[in-house]
Amino acid sequence: MKQTENHGKVSYVLVIGFFFLALLAHGNLLAEELPGQSDSSYQMEKTGQNQIVIAIDPGHPSETSGGCAHHGVTELQICWEVALRLEKMIDEEPSLRSIKTKPAVDTMVTNRQRAECANEAKAAIMVRLHCDSANGAGCTVYYPDKQGTTQGVTGPSEEVISQSSLAAQCMQIGLAKVIGPYLKLNPVKTDSMTYVGSKQGALTGSIFSKVPAIVVEMVYLNNASEAAFIQSFEGQDLLARGMLAGIKEFLVSDQKTDF
């Protein structure tokens, strides 16, 4: 009887031992898998960190206005629609990643907050989308050519001014390649040539920007043919592709990447 009990205890110990060995083996398998999973997550994070951030700033509403409206087309809606197209095109580029300065079409964001959004993301460039409303025609690119002052702040820095000038010239090249045959492209202009810029020295978004910043006044919305152009799928697609070409031109010229 005692021998049988001892034999039973030994069998019990052996079963428990095999059970723990099985657990340890399973744990080792998990441990072998986890580093792979961690590496995968890390790789995703690393890839995201290595991607160049492009800030898209769909114009309006801001502290200054809600944008213009002509021929049944609102600047607010059109800028948002083109921003979504540009966002998709940028995100299809493996080395690029886009951010928008507002989450929805009608979200009110001040011009200072828009610049700060691009700054926080450490964007390579902030592209600000607008439509003009005056006597004129065509697409116009603007950049800060000197410092301005507002809300007790003076900016942008000389480095940002220099980089914004390069970005504007590169955007002009990209737009010319794509929209040249379809839409008039005006010479590059400066912030100080705008109404607000003439008062402050630079646009508010430029003053607070710590990254290269340009404005693309895509069309004169009060021009009936241009309003029809930007309202169309083809027009929006051409403008987005032209701006992407300009962004790429700038990144290559600034030696940030090669496409």
Instruction: Dump pLDDT digits (tens) for 97-111.
Output: 999 999 999 999 999
Are 152 and 236 part of one and the same domain? yes
In a domain, 189, yes or no: yes
- Contact (CB, 8 A) for 60 and 105: no
Q: Residue 227 domain-assigned? A: yes
User: Is a pLDDT exceeding 50 seen at residue 14?
Assistant: no
User: Is residue 122 located within the same domain as residue 233?
Assistant: yes
Q: What is the phi/psi pair of residue 52, to 5°?
A: -85, 130
pLDDT of res. 11: 45
Residues 131 and 218 in one domain: yes
Torsion over CA: 95, 160, 173, 223 (sign): positive
Whether residue 137 is predicted with pLDDT greater than 50 in this model: the reply is yes
Across 115-128, b (16+ Cβ under 10 Å) vs e yields bbbbbebebbbbbb
Instruction: Return the pLDDT at 49.
Output: 65
Could you give the angle at which helices 224-231 and 75-91 cross, rounded to 10 degrees? 40
Range of the domain at 70: 51-253
pLDDT tens digits for 218-250? 999 999 999 999 999 999 999 999 999 999 999
Mean pLDDT confidence for 43-57 = 70
Q: Is the pLDDT of residue 212 over 60?
A: yes
Q: Which of the residue ranges 16-20, 35-39, 149-153, 246-250 would you say has the lowest mean pLDDT?
A: 35-39
Clarify whether residues 198 and 163 are in a common domain: yes
pLDDT for position 2: 39
Least confident window among 4-8, 36-40, 116-120, 197-201: 36-40
Contact 144, 190 (CB under 8 A): yes
Q: How many CB atoms lie within 10 A of CB 224?
A: 12
pLDDT digits (tens, 9 = 90+) for 154-168: 999 999 999 999 999
95 and 18 in one domain?
no
Residues 138 and 234 in one domain: yes
Residues 105 and 115 in one domain: yes
| Residue 258 counted as domain residue | no
- Is the residue at 26 inside a domain? yes
The domain boundary, picked from 14, 34, 50, lies at: 50
Residue recorded with tokens 């944008």: 67
- 177 in the same domain as 233: yes
Specify the pLDDT at position 258: 85
Does residue 259 lie within any of the structural domains?
A: no
Where residue 72 sits, what CATH number does that domain have? Answer: 3.40.630.40
Q: Quick check: 21 pLDDT over 60?
A: no
End residue of a domain, out of 12, 31, 50: 50
| pLDDT tens-digit map of 111-133 | 999 999 999 999 999 999 999 99
> Do residues 239 and 159 share a domain?
yes
Average of per-residue pLDDT values in the chain: 86
